[in-house]
Amino acid sequence: MEQKNQLYLGEEKISTLMGKYAIPCIISLLVGALYNIVDQIFIANADYLGSYGNAANTVVFPLTVIALAIAVMIGDGCCAFVSLSLGSGRSDDAGRSMGNSIVMAIASSLFLTVVYIVFSEKIISLFGGTVNSETFANSKEYFFWISLGIPFYMFGQAMNPIIRADGSPAFAMISTLCGAVINIILDPIFIFIFKWGMMGAAVATVIGQIAAAILALWYLCHTKTVKLSRKCFVLKPSVAGMTLKLGICSFLSQISLVAAMAAINNMIRKYGALDSIFSIEQYAQIPMAVVGIVMKFFQIVISIVVGMAAGCIPIIGFNMGAGLKERVKKLFTLLLISEACVGALAFIAVELFPHRLIAIFGAANESICYTEFAVKAFRIYLCMIVFACVNKAAFIFLQAMGKAAASTMLSMAREIVFGVGFALLLPIFFGLDGVLYSMPVSDILTAFISLVVITRTYKQLTDKKPVLALSDNAM
């Protein structure tokens, strides 16, 4: 089975491989994103929650992303490690990485859960939950129940790319889809029939996450390509360190969203209080609720973009390990074109149909101030989304090639230096609108850097030097 999988990755048509591996990954990430998005849709359309519940969801969202960041660092790092190991014939290293990743996922999830429960009020305040008393109360309720599900959420998310690396992208998709379907079924029951409010939305999410985690656990007992033994679960510093190193870009791409949202939420709270409309108590939560909705749409697009690129990690890693650089180059070209097309479609949606996007999140129950600010937020914040999509593809591709340091450096520049920096700087000059300008400005500047990286990558994949020249030092 292992030999057959290796030949398939090294010989099958690139577009066929991309379809087989990327589509299930896209669906898995989209479904994973739907947990929070579906919650927000049902919350927004509940008369007794409305924009207060929306704002609370926005406050808690980055805290779930912290859990996701740790999970994908472990999972994507393991996926890249396993693929590179199988491509170069080191199956023992692949098994060790998988076992070590399982241990790290469980340990880190339990630790994070304890931190969240013990310091919940301070954490909620840090992410802007004190915009008004009702938002704070809703945030506390939602966060408590979501925290209880963190171990199941992180385990399922970390195992998803590992299952793909083992040659079962379809099962990875199905396990995530199962959890999301359960959440979608239970959300309206708990929110509209039982009237459980924020607790109902959270409990529905956690039950879905438990189901996905159980399916992932079942698969680990029936792996196809990589065989797990007891010694695989003994932490080995070199293996665990390389796994985390290869996954650090995925971690930074997620955790930087947390840093940006913390900065954005606090800038919204600060400069919203100076706005002539949003300084009024009953409207104070609107900017935070709206920006949260815009980010949810962006999360859907980025789930497609990241899914497309991350789904290709096993293909890239195997062919790099096997020295098949021409195949890697073809895949890179196809990926960049595909990502740009996704960004173009998203751009059309946010610029031409913002009212329809807003309506999904309960705009009918809100004031005209809510709608007007939401339209402006969609059109400004996401006007450079094409660049955002291409940038993300370039970062993940470098990670899959084993160029962890280069990938990490680029991700840090975009997400931390630009993303957080401009979110803090621009509101000083443009007030509340400065928060919206921070996204396109960051994407434009990052695009110039990505252009240089993409050009160098093509050059390295075209020359006849050994594959070792594609290490981080080569950048």
Helices assigned H by DSSP within 322-382: 325-352, 354-360, 368-381
The answer to the question of residue 171 being in a domain is yes
Amino acid at 111: F
Confidence tier at 363 by pLDDT (50, 70, 90): low
Confidence tier at 78 by pLDDT (50, 70, 90): very high
Segment 20-45 shows an average pLDDT of 80
Predicted confidence (pLDDT) at residue 472 exceeds the cutoff of 60? no
Total domain count for the chain?
A: 1
Return the number of other C-beta atoms located less than 10 Å from residue 283's C-beta: 19
Residues 153 and 33: their CA atoms lie apart, in Å, by 12
Range picked from 159-163, 187-191, 355-359 for highest mean pLDDT: 187-191
Range picked from 19-33, 141-155, 355-369, 457-471 for highest mean pLDDT: 141-155
DSSP for 154-194 reads: HHHHHHHHHHHHTT-HHHHHHHHHHHHHHHHHHHHIIIIIS
Residues 136 and 130: their CA atoms lie apart, in Å, by 5
Contact 264, 438 (CB under 8 A): yes
Predicted confidence (pLDDT) at residue 5 exceeds the cutoff of 70? no
Higher pLDDT residue, 70 or 41? 70
pLDDT for res 462:
83
The answer to the question of residue 5 being in a domain is no
The answer to the question of residue 6 being in a domain is no
Residues 472 and 403: their CA atoms lie apart, in Å, by 5
> The dihedral of CA 213, 214, 220, 224: what is its sign?
negative
Least confident of 5-9, 22-26, 83-87, 441-445: 5-9
> The dihedral of CA 185, 186, 187, 188: what is its sign?
positive
The answer to the question of residue 4 being in a domain is no
* Phi, psi of 88, rounded to the nearest 5 degrees: -100, 10
How would you class 5 by CB atoms within 10 Å of its CB: exposed for 0-12, middle for 13-18, buried for 19 or more? middle
Confidence tier at 260 by pLDDT (50, 70, 90): confident
- pLDDT, tens digit, for every residue of 403-424? 777 777 887 888 788 988 999 9
Q: 3-state SS of the chain: helix, strand, coil percent to 5?
A: 85, 0, 15
DSSP-assigned letter for residue 227? P
pLDDT for res 351:
95
Contact 113, 150 (CB under 8 A): yes
The answer to the question of residue 1 being in a domain is no
Least confident of 4-8, 288-292, 357-361: 4-8
Host domain of residue 23: 13-474
Collapse the DSSP code of 203 into the 3-class scheme (helix H, G, I; strand E, B; otherwise coil) and give the result: helix
Mean pLDDT of the chain: 86
The answer to the question of residue 334 being in a domain is yes
Confidence tier at 280 by pLDDT (50, 70, 90): confident
Segment 429-442 shows an average pLDDT of 93
pLDDT for res 468:
43
Residues 186 and 200: their CA atoms lie apart, in Å, by 8
The answer to the question of residue 70 being in a domain is yes
pLDDT for res 241:
92
Contact 113, 173 (CB under 8 A): no
Contact 191, 333 (CB under 8 A): no
Predicted confidence (pLDDT) at residue 270 exceeds the cutoff of 60? yes
Residues 303 and 299: their CA atoms lie apart, in Å, by 6
pLDDT for res 365:
66
* Phi, psi of 280, rounded to the nearest 5 degrees: -75, 135
- pLDDT, tens digit, for every residue of 225-251? 888 888 899 999 999 999 998 888 778
- pLDDT, tens digit, for every residue of 305-316? 988 988 888 888
Predicted confidence (pLDDT) at residue 144 exceeds the cutoff of 70? yes
Distances (CA, A) of 241 to 82, 99, 118, 237, 325: 14, 13, 29, 6, 26
